[in-house]
A and B are shown apart, each in its own frame.
Chain A
Amino acid sequence: DIQMTQSPSTLAASVGDRVTITCRASQNINDWLAWYQQKPGKAPKILIYRASILESGIPSRFSGRRSGTEFTLTINGLQSDDFGTYYCQQVGSTFGQGTRVEIK
Chain B
Amino acid sequence: QVHLEQSEHQLQTPGASVRLSCKASGYIFSEFAIAWVRQAPGQGLEWMGWIKLDNQRTFYRPKFQGRVSMTADTSTSVVFLDLTRLTSDDTALYYCARRGKKEGLFYGMDVWGQGTMVTVSS
Q: Do A and B come from one complex?
A: yes
Additional 16 contacts, C-beta under 8 A, given A44-B97, A94-B47: A36-B45, A43-B113, A43-B114, A44-B112, A45-B112, A46-B108, A49-B100, A49-B102, A55-B108, A89-B45, A89-B109, A91-B107, A93-B61, A95-B37, A95-B44, A95-B47
Cα(A62)–Cα(B65), bound, Å:
36
Are A89's CB and B47's CB within 8 A? yes
Cα(A95)–Cα(B47), bound, Å:
7
- Shortest beta-carbon distance, A59 to chain B, in Å? 17
- Shortest beta-carbon distance, B4 to chain A, in Å? 9
- Shortest beta-carbon distance, A87 to chain B, in Å? 6
Chain B interface, >50% SS class: strand
Q: Which residues of B contact A34 (CB under 8 A)?
A: 107-109
Report 26 cross-chain contacts, Cβ distance below 8 Å, ordered by A residue. A1-B61, A34-B107, A34-B108, A34-B109, A36-B45, A43-B95, A43-B113, A43-B114, A43-B115, A44-B37, A45-B112, A49-B100, A49-B107, A50-B102, A55-B108, A85-B44, A87-B44, A87-B45, A89-B108, A91-B106, A92-B50, A92-B106, A95-B45, A97-B44, A98-B44, A98-B45
A74 at interface (Cβ–Cβ under 8 A)? no
Are B46's CB and A95's CB within 8 A? yes
User: 1/0 contact trace for A70-104 toward B, CB 8 Å?
Assistant: 00000000000000010101011111111000000
Q: Which residues of A contact B99 (CB under 8 A)?
A: 92
Cα(A43)–Cα(B35), bound, Å:
13
Cα(A50)–Cα(B95), bound, Å:
22
